[in-house]
Amino acid sequence: MRVWPTVRALTLHALDWSGWAAFLPTLAILAITSHTFGWPTLSVDHEHMLITPEVRIWLTVIAELTSLSMFILSWRFIEHKTLRDMLLAHSYAMWRPLLVGLFMGASGIALVTLGMMASGCLRLAWGNVVISRHAALSVVGLVISSSLLGPITEETESRGYLFQNVFRGWGATIATIITALVFAARHLQNPNVSALGIINIALFSIGLTVGMLRLRSLWYTIGWHAAWNFCLVFILGLPTSGYSLAGFDIARASLFSSVSSGNEWLTGGGFGPEGSILASVVILLQIIIMWRIPVKAS
């Protein structure tokens, strides 16, 4: 009883991480949309789909939907539990932890940004926001992927399914550690990954888990994750976990234009501020703050 829930959760993560869980649904959807709507467009010889940055964004959205469905259905029909057991209850009470998460995520990235500016390694200027009609679909898809569906999916997979399954058999401490290790490992394939970046991702996971346990709600972690990603990408124009607007050919879609320079341990380099020592300090501070909050009654 202690082992099998953990084995099932890790197996699902491995299946999801490999890409096979989303392969067939994505292939089916692309076959339908290509035949019916001409999207994605085909090569001149009509033998290959043209995978543009816009298509890559929406492929990510499809993959996230597939992953979310797989974990929720497994939770319901394999684990025989409800979303309330995952601390994902949908009710009026969800708004408080969600708003706390949004505030903590936004204030966290604000502190990191101010620290980078004070050290002289980041300059901000008002961005000349230009979103062409052609790029609008890419922007919408990236907002959904990075700041809405992505946070919901990642938190449901990690602090929802994985943490709760490990917690059942091994307790909160072991569950927190395993969740942090898996969460960090799943970012190893990201562009421009760094050792400090992976350490920080594990720290983020621990901080989010502490907040979830204190507030007894997965909505806290979803709010934090969504605010952090949105502020990094669409407010500051900085990379998040190695992914940037420029990588999707929509570089001028952020409120500010940011230029970072100097030591990579301060700027995070191509991985973004999540690879900065300043992010380490901020997330440790947030862990202390959340740890001091009295545990909400179930």
pLDDT at 53: 86
| Model pLDDT, residue 116 | 96
- Average pLDDT score over the chain: 91
Residue-number span of the structural domain to which 90 is assigned: 4-291
Mean pLDDT of 165-178: 95
Please indicate, yes or no, if residue 250 is contained in any of the structural domains.
Answer: yes
Q: Please check the confidence at residue 46 and state whether its pLDDT lies above 70.
A: no
Rg (CA), the chain: 20
pTM: 0.94
Q: Does residue 131 sit within a domain?
A: yes
Least confident of 43-47, 84-88, 237-241: 43-47
Euclidean distance between CA atoms 102 and 86, whole angstroms: 20
For residue 55, being part of any structural domain is answered with yes
Q: Looking at the domain assignment, is residue 297 inside a domain?
A: no
In a domain? residue 88: yes
pLDDT band at 130 (very low <50, low <70, confident <90, very high): confident
Q: Is the pLDDT of residue 249 over 80?
A: yes
Residue with tokens 């829930």: 5
Higher pLDDT, 60 or 295: 60
Q: Per the structure, how many domains does the chain have? A: 1
Can the peptide bond before residue 53 be classed as cis, meaning omega within 30 degrees of 0?
no
Alpha carbon distance 19, 67 (integer Å): 10
Is residue 133 in some structural domain? yes
Q: pLDDT tens for residues 194-234?
A: 999 999 999 999 999 999 999 999 999 999 999 999 999 99
Residue 246 lies inside a defined structural domain of this protein: yes
Assigned domain for 298 exists: no
pLDDT at 37: 79
- Kindly state the average pLDDT of the residues 136-151: 94
> Quick one: three-class SS letters along the chain?
CCCHHHHHHHHHHHHHHHCHHHHHHHHHHHHHHHHHHCCCCECCCCCCECCCHHHHHHHHHHHHHHHHHHHHHHHHHCCCCCHHHHCCCCCHHHHHHHHHHHHHHHHHHHHHHHHHHHCCCEEEEECCCCCCHHHHHHHHHHHHHHHHHHHHHHHHHHHHHHHHHHHHHHCHHHHHHHHHHHHHHCCCCCCCCCHHHHHHHHHHHHHHHHHHHHHCCHHHHHHHHHHHHHHHHHHCCCCECCECCHHHCCCCCCCEEEEECCCHHHHCHHHCHHHCHHHHHHHHHHHHHHHCCCCCCC
Q: What is the pLDDT of residue 42?
A: 72
Name the band, by pLDDT with cuts 50, 70 and 90, for residue 50: confident
List residues bridging with 49 in a β-sheet.
42
